[in-house]
Chain A
């Protein structure tokens, strides 16, 4: 990997000078607020009902959060969302990657590959807006598609299951290209000659995928699984603009829930506790990611 200039004489403080500004900046906008959040989580901090200052209540908030059924429901819902969209994104992403990898129709393939960035770059908030129009009961195109294949129209956004399906579909639309691009990168790493050697030994594309290409896809798969799980914990923009978490709490994923507790109910103490718990979960995930990722590199 890195090839540092061998034993070059640089002052012991030189790296520091280069790194200090950015490290300080990240500390200021990252660590400091986190500490503040921890402190807040240990206090009763209801902005709508300031009780002579914000008294220190120790771990009461955490206890409340961990015994709060709604909190667990929200996490379960978020996990359910992950389990709903991931398989589809992986499968569809793989199909796209295979189609882009297969030679022929070069111009078309380039066009598709380039267009894959459109969903990824589209402002997530706007994606939610589009979703609201598409899944509209009366003049939304989703119901029109449904009628073309003989299914009755739904009140997507007014119906808990429909709303969940709608946000799932939009997420799938937006992030399948991500999976596809990663798998494509993995497929491109298979040396040409190995693919050819396999073509001399089997006609079956399935066998080629399973025995020859799969090992090259696995590192990417790991990255996708973990990055997407972190992303879904963060998911806010699209769902917020599309359903605001409704109807009821049908699409209230964890970030939306915490935002509601913090900025609608203004119960900062509880929200901070929830956020810290979320942070812990995220750190566990990122450690996992890095450990798995670096093991792949070491191979």
Chain B
């Protein structure tokens, strides 16, 4: 079995039907996926979906109940974590508290008996990349959250690992710092070109950092794709509702009629809902469907819009440069619309929101995309 992959299209990381059980409970149900060398893959999903567990199985911190894990062509399922040549950045940074920043970074290399010269070189290199030079002799408790996170990343870099793993690294940082670190991580990826697997519950991080996103729910993969694919073509309502902020609006409607690869929907608040069908879907008249409309695709003024939605407004959130309108349709469904500029409304006003047929999403009664 060869283990040098020059062919870029070969999987660098391969998870083959991985299953994880705790006693009687199955947490990961036969997950399979592949990542190419140099790819940035993000595992995303709600709390408890198993994304961290999956990451830890790749790291070797969790035993695999069934299935195999391959890194760079080698089967590492039974290999101890330290021998897998992966590095991990933890949510709580996990820096050794009694060691200086330099020693923290050098620890892994010391353990595999790297020469002092080489250690110093690599530490200096990582410190330069992450601007940690002035901090090298400090202890972790003397560092801020953002600095600690960078040390944690530095510790991963010096080992020149095959795989970088990130377990919700930005969750403990405040919003501003998070945005800053996101850019740093993206820059790092560009610079190092290493394969990175990143776990987060924040879909913004997923959308901005990922080459490909893996959406997980309850231990199963819902969809794998590029950010654009997930945004434009979610396979079900879960993915559609998870990706994109604010959350997509969902309306339950009935199929009125089907004509010529287009379907007409009936809903008390909708007018002109004549939507194209994709994916070879074949709904029949009378079927229940879910219509998805993204807040950013709704216009507050329905003039000239092919599809209109009648709502009663409740509240407007003014964000300075844009506004978010909270409203309800006649049957009580909450609708959010986002528009640039500042808008006001009075509670109880009736409005017509506009949408275009091409930007609408259609799902069947089970939530699958049509």
Contacts and interface: CB of A to CB of B under 8 A. Distances in A.
Interface of A: 191, 193-194, 196-204, 207, 211-212, 215
Looking at chain B's contact residues, the main secondary structure is: loop
Nearest to B85: A200
B107 A201 contact: yes
Interface of B: 59-61, 80-83, 86-88, 90-99, 107-108, 111-112, 155, 159
A196 B107 contact: no
Contacts of B112: 202
A196 B96 CA distance: 11
A75 to B, nearest CB: 37
Contacts of A207: 111
Contact of A197 (B60, B88, B98): B88
Nearest to A215: B98
B90 A204 contact: no
B94 A193 contact: yes
A204 B94 CA distance: 19
Given A197-B90, A199-B81, A199-B82, A204 B96 contact: no
A194 B82 CA distance: 14
Contact of B82 (A200, A212, A215): A200
A201 B92 contact: no
A198 B96 CA distance: 9
A203 B83 CA distance: 8
Contacts of A204: 111
A177 B315 CA distance: 65
A211 B107 contact: yes
A200 B88 contact: yes
A269 to B, nearest CB: 52
B111 A200 contact: no
Contacts of B81: 196, 199-200
A200 B98 contact: no
Contacts of B96: 194, 197-198, 211-212
Nearest to A202: B111
B61 A201 contact: no
B82 A201 contact: yes
A200 B80 CA distance: 8
A215 B97 CA distance: 9
A219 B128 CA distance: 36
A208 to B, nearest CB: 10
Contact of B94 (A194, A211, A215): A194
